[in-house]
Amino acid sequence: MLVGAYYYPEHWPREQWERDIGNIAKMGFDFTHFGEFAWAFMEPEEGKYDFGWLDEAVEIASKNGLKVIMCTPTPTPPAWMAEKYPEILLTNTDGRIIRHGTRQHISWSSTKYREFTEKIVTKLAERYGQDERIWGWQIDNEPSHYGLKEDYGDAAQVRFRQWLKDKYQTIERLNDVWGTKFWSEVYSNFDQVRIPNEKELVLFVNPHAMLDFKRFTASECASFVSLQYNILRKSILKEQWITTNFMAIYDAVDPKLNDDLDFITWTKYPVEGFNQGIGEQGFRRGLPYDVGFGNDFFRPLKGKTAAMELQISQVCWGEYNPRMYPGARRLLLYHVFAGGNSFVCSYRFRQPTFNYEQNIIGMVGTDGVTPSDGGEEYMAFIKEMKTLQDNRPKATKKPESYFKRKSAVIWSFDNIWATDYQKHTTQWSYRNHHAGYYNILKSFGCPVDIIRDCDDFSAYSVLVAPAQELINTELIDKFSKYVKNGGHLVLTCRSGAKDQNGHYWEAKRAEPIWELIGAEIEFFDNLPGNCWANVRFGKQDFKWNVWADVLSPHKDTAVLATYVDQFYQGKAAVVSHKYGKGSVTYIGVETSGNGLERAVLKHIYNQAKIPIEDYPNGVIVDWRDGFWVAMNYSSEPFEVAIPKSAEILIGQKTLKAADVVVWSE
């Protein structure tokens, strides 16, 4: 796995470039990363391009033996563009035009902005597309509008209407799907339709309109990235790859829509002062979910991924901004390695002296020469990577029991968009619900893919499909087939209640999945946040208050857990039945800390005789290319069960906080 660092030549005096870029190479990095955000330097006046400075930087990198990732600068157009063509700008939910000065403040729906994008990308492709010093391309950066999420401007309005026309053809069809008979919402033509926006309504947004607008936004983002991809791909070297980096854990765009790209990379800052991590000092280490989700969500998209932007050290945007735990960077880097990434790149080589991100610690300080704590850990890691490369096991026999428990969790943007808008309880969070299951599988030591419902299920012994509230009969059939062929399917609360437009079925609640799950779903319930109820599995009680589906099992369906109290005391909360060669389990409840869910899943693997581990919270063990890697995010030491016959290549088997051990068997 190669390791690189961002460098912004345009931020520093020309006379420091040789020294700085030379130091990147001396510290052991394999590559650097140029051009991101540099549009004002590439096109200082409209139509006047300047790449001379970039040529020089590329040349210095090359002389120092560094590969170069070249970026398109589209998140940050020059000031003259916003001044002369304000129609390129984003508009927020307040109807306010968003101004020049930060990034991603432009409208993907703006024709003018797409024109400027085409031109600059074409120029870059012409200049560097045949240049072998360029290793690959990054389109844009973290495509999104960050916290603003969506665009409410005129251009978006126009294109949204067109998107709806393309989708529905007639206004009658839109009226049907959006259920506009309700409250006389009925539209007579597409021009009456506005982007749904709670800020301009007396009450709530039509949930079907909201879902379409979320889909539209993701689609606009994807088509903006594809526009650039198509320009690049038709004129650059075959050897040069093209990617973009999406933010891991960001829900307004869908990376899957860009599987035209060669592969998709990701960004993550696990220690940014918003969570407490695990145990003492956990806030300095982040959660295993942070890098884990990056690995397992992006890798399955194209079978390949890389961490384009990984945290080095202290940042500046958290509620508080702690220093990282000693070893925490190395921990993240090994997690990235173990997760199968092709390379890792980090922002940024040199800490800037100015502007908003001046306190994001780099590999070296603002003086340009003194390595930070992060820089030191990166250098150490790079050396260890070389050790590993030298000790690469010859026969990389895949570990059987590890791959036997290979599992998947379905991710669904439709369902995060639909259920997070219609939460039914403020405590509902699709992401938390989903993460609970993902974390359980990782605690069992499973290799996990986070996949889509359109993906092939056959590779996985267990498939968890959390909160599939919007579903369609094709998917129900696909689930059935998977199970009949021996798969073990886990469906969770809210599932099956609605069709893919978000309509309840003209039937009983979730009736279309009753046969699949071997039970009826009578109703659901939520509790106040300060009130707890219990659900019993075996002899153990678990607390819940977010969601309960109350179930009525069919004959031959086993009841695994029941409600201990409430007026439906004794009713089923979890049911399971054999179905074809496999099994289907329905977990109708979300418990505090997901304790019940973990117990039920363990039961499922055990029943299916799939071997699993039982790691404590914070310990992750993965296998890559013949190497076992065990990592500890918690504050409790953990003794890794390494066979005596194994060779420990890095570290030791007692894992302290932030420790890593690598061995081969």
Segment interacting with its own copies (CB under 8 A) among 313-321, 459-467, 479-487, 585-593: 313-321
**Among positions 33, 67, 105, 233, the unique one binding its own copies when judged by CB under 8 A:** 105
Query: Rule CB under 8 A: is residue 118 a binding residue for its own copies?
Result: no
DSSP 370-400: SBPHHHHHHHHHHHHHHHHHHT--SS-PPPH
Beta bridge partners of residue 575, listed in sequence order: 559, 586
* CA–CA separation, 650 and 282 (whole Å): 23
**Among positions 5, 88, 90, 242, the unique one binding its own copies when judged by CB under 8 A:** 90
* CA–CA separation, 598 and 594 (whole Å): 6
Segment interacting with its own copies (CB under 8 A) among 93-101, 287-295, 476-484, 623-631: 93-101
Minimal distance, residue 393 CB to its own copies, in Å: 34
**Among positions 238, 507, 555, 643, the unique one binding its own copies when judged by CB under 8 A:** 507
Site mask for its own copies (CB under 8 A), range 474-503, x = bound: ----------------------------xx
* CA–CA separation, 366 and 350 (whole Å): 6
**Among positions 323, 431, 478, 554, the unique one binding its own copies when judged by CB under 8 A:** 323
**245: closest CA among 148, 118, 103, 139?**
139
Total binding residues toward its own copies, as defined by CB under 8 A: 117
Query: Rule CB under 8 A: is residue 10 a binding residue for its own copies?
Result: yes
**Among positions 224, 293, 325, 623, the unique one binding its own copies when judged by CB under 8 A:** 325
Q: DSSP assignment, residue 40?
A: H
Query: Amino acid identity of 182?
Result: F
**Among positions 200, 474, 614, 647, the unique one binding its own copies when judged by CB under 8 A:** 200
> Cα 245 vs. chain centroid, distance in angstroms?
10
Minimal distance, residue 11 CB to its own copies, in Å: 5
Minimal distance, residue 360 CB to its own copies, in Å: 11
Taken in order 658, 659, 664, 665, the sign of the CA dihedral is: negative
Of residues 97 and 257, the one with the C-beta less far from its own copies: 97
CB count in 10 Å sphere of residue 505 = 15
Query: Rule CB under 8 A: is residue 637 a binding residue for its own copies?
Result: no
Spatial contact of 437 and 461, defined as CB atoms under 8 Å apart: no
Of residues 524 through 583, those in contact with its own copies by CB under 8 A are: 524-531, 566-567
Query: Amino acid identity of 518?
Result: G
Of residues 17 through 76, those in contact with its own copies by CB under 8 A are: 37-41, 44-45, 73, 75-76
Alpha carbon distances (Å) from 354 to 103, 275, 350, 358: 16, 27, 12, 5
For 100-108, the CB contacts below 8 A with 24+ separation are 102/356, 103/37, 103/75, 103/76, 103/141, 104/75, 104/142, 104/143, 104/144, 104/145, 104/146, 105/145, 106/74, 106/75, 106/77, 107/151, 107/153, 107/155, 107/156, 108/151, 108/220, 108/221, 108/223, 108/224
**Among positions 166, 239, 400, 506, the unique one binding its own copies when judged by CB under 8 A:** 506
Backbone dihedral angles phi then psi of residue 384, each to the nearest 5 degrees: -65, -35
Of residues 204 and 403, the one with the C-beta less far from its own copies: 204
Spatial contact of 533 and 564, defined as CB atoms under 8 Å apart: yes
Site mask for its own copies (CB under 8 A), range 398-427, x = bound: ------------------------x-xxxx
> Cα 416 vs. chain centroid, distance in angstroms?
13
* CA–CA separation, 329 and 285 (whole Å): 8
Minimal distance, residue 35 CB to its own copies, in Å: 11
Query: Rule CB under 8 A: is residue 205 a binding residue for its own copies?
Result: yes
Angle at 322 between CA 320 and CA 326, to 5 degrees: 165
Minimal distance, residue 532 CB to its own copies, in Å: 12
Of residues 206 and 295, the one with the C-beta less far from its own copies: 206
Minimal distance, residue 130 CB to its own copies, in Å: 26
Query: Rule CB under 8 A: is residue 94 a binding residue for its own copies?
Result: yes
Of residues 342 and 532, the one with the C-beta less far from its own copies: 532
Query: Rule CB under 8 A: is residue 286 a binding residue for its own copies?
Result: no
Minimal distance, residue 230 CB to its own copies, in Å: 24
Q: Mapping DSSP to helix (H, G, I), strand (E, B) and coil, where does residue 1 land? A: coil
Minimal distance, residue 79 CB to its own copies, in Å: 5
Q: Which residue has the tokens 């940050």?
A: 76
Segment interacting with its own copies (CB under 8 A) among 103-111, 382-390, 460-468, 571-579: 103-111
Of residues 144 and 583, the one with the C-beta less far from its own copies: 144
Tokens, residue 376: 């030191």
Length of the chain: 665
Segment interacting with its own copies (CB under 8 A) among 256-264, 322-330, 449-457, 584-592: 322-330
Of residues 140 through 199, those in contact with its own copies by CB under 8 A are: 145-148, 178-188, 191-192, 194, 196-197, 199
Query: Rule CB under 8 A: is residue 359 a binding residue for its own copies?
Result: yes
Of residues 209 through 238, those in contact with its own copies by CB under 8 A are: 209
Of residues 425 through 454, those in contact with its own copies by CB under 8 A are: 425-427
Of residues 323 and 602, the one with the C-beta less far from its own copies: 323
**431: closest CA among 615, 252, 265?**
252
Burial of 418 (0-12, 13-18, 19+ CB in 10 A): buried
**Among positions 80, 85, 190, 250, the unique one binding its own copies when judged by CB under 8 A:** 80
